[in-house]
Structure 1
Amino acid sequence: MSYEETTIEGRNAVLEAFRAGKTIDKLFVQDGCQDGPVRTIVREARKGDTLIQYVAKERLNQMSETGNHQGVIAFAAAYSYAEVEDILDAAREKGEPPFIFILDGIEDPHNLGAIIRTANLAGAHGVIIPKRRAVGLTSTVARTSAGALHYTPVAHVTNLAVTMEELKKEGLWFVCADMVGESMYRLNLTGPIGLVIGNEGSGVSRLVKEKCDMAASIPMNGNIDSLNASVAAGVLAYEIVRQRLNIK
Structure 2
Amino acid sequence: MGADPLMAGNSQRRGRTSGAGKKTATAGTGGKNRRSLAGRGATPPAEKRTGHPAQRRAQADARRRAERDRSRQRADEAPELLLGRNPVVEALRAQIPATALYVVTGDTSRSDERITEAVQLAADRGLPLLEVGKGEFDRMSNGALHQGIGLQVPPYEYAHPDDLLDVARDSGRPPLVVAMDGVTDPRNLGAVVRSAAAFDAHGVVVPQRRAVGMTASAWRTSAGAAARLRVARAVNLARALASYQDAGLMTVGLAGDGETDLHDFDGFADPVALVVGAEGAGLSRLVRERCDVVLRIPIARDTESLNVSVAAGIALYTAAAARR
- What TM-score do the two structures reach when normalised by structure 1? 0.69
Compute the displacement of 1:221 (Å).
2.0
What secondary structure is seen at the aligned counterpart in 1 of 2:276?
Answer: strand
Is residue 67 of structure 1 aligned with residue 139 of structure 2? yes
User: Which residue of the other structure, out of 67, 73, 78, is the alignment partner of 1:50?
Assistant: 73
Task: Give me the whole-angstrom Cα distance separating, in 2, the residues matched to 1:68 and 1:244.
Answer: 49
Is residue 235 of structure 1 aligned with residue 307 of structure 2? no
Task: Give me the whole-angstrom Cα distance separating, in 1, the residues matched to 2:302 and 2:161.
Answer: 39
Letter in 1 for 2:270: G
Compute the displacement of 1:174 (Å).
0.7
Task: Give me the whole-angstrom Cα distance separating, in 1, the residues matched to 2:320 and 2:179.
Answer: 16
Q: What runs of 5+ residues in structure 2 fail to find an aligned partner? A: 1-65, 76-136, 143-152
Task: Give me the whole-angstrom Cα distance separating, in 2, the residues matched to 1:193 and 1:238.
Answer: 14
Task: Give me the whole-angstrom Cα distance separating, in 1, the residues matched to 2:262 and 2:180.
Answer: 18
Q: 1:219 to 1:77 in 2, by over 3 A?
A: farther
| TM-superposition CA deviations, 1:118-170 (whole Å, max 9, x none) | 00001000000001111111000000000011110001111000111111111
**How much is the aligned-residue C-alpha RMSD, in angstroms?**
2.6
Is residue 190 of structure 1 aligned with residue 269 of structure 2? yes
Partner of 1:140: 217
What secondary structure is seen at the aligned counterpart in 2 of 1:180?
Answer: coil
Task: Give me the whole-angstrom Cα distance separating, in 1, the residues matched to 2:229 and 2:254.
Answer: 21
Off by >6 Å, runs of 4+ in structure 1: none
Letter in 1 for 2:73: T
Q: What runs of 5+ residues in structure 1 fail to find an aligned partner? A: 1-41, 53-64, 71-75
Letter in 1 for 2:226: L
What secondary structure is seen at the aligned counterpart in 2 of 1:221?
Answer: coil
Partner of 1:84: 161
Task: Give me the whole-angstrom Cα distance separating, in 2, the residues matched to 1:198 and 1:51.
Answer: 26
User: Which residue of the other structure, out of 171, 176, 179, is the alignment partner of 2:253?
Assistant: 176
Task: Give me the whole-angstrom Cα distance separating, in 2, the residues matched to 1:96 and 1:196.
Answer: 19
Task: Give me the whole-angstrom Cα distance separating, in 1, the residues matched to 2:191 and 2:238.
Answer: 24
Compute the displacement of 1:178 (Å).
1.0
Compute the displacement of 1:210 (Å).
0.1
Q: 1:77 to 1:223 in 2, by over 3 A?
A: farther
Larger Rg: 2
Task: Give me the whole-angstrom Cα distance separating, in 2, the residues matched to 1:136 and 1:147.
Answer: 16
Letter in 1 for 2:261: S
Conserved in 2, the CA contact under 8 Å of 1:51 and 1:132? no
Task: Give me the whole-angstrom Cα distance separating, in 2, the residues matched to 1:203 and 1:132.
Answer: 16
Partner of 1:3: none
Conserved in 2, the CA contact under 8 Å of 1:129 and 1:157? yes
Task: Give me the whole-angstrom Cα distance separating, in 2, the residues matched to 1:190 and 1:93.
Answer: 17
What secondary structure is seen at the aligned counterpart in 2 of 1:216?
Answer: strand
- What TM-score do the two structures reach when normalised by structure 2? 0.54
Compute the displacement of 1:86 (Å).
2.1
Worse overlay, 76-85 or 136-145: 76-85
Compute the displacement of 1:77 (Å).
6.3
- Percent identity, aligned pairs only? 40
Partner of 2:108: none
What secondary structure is seen at the aligned counterpart in 2 of 1:129?
Answer: strand
Q: 1:223 to 1:160 in 2, by over 3 A?
A: same
**Structure richer in strand, relative to its length:** 1
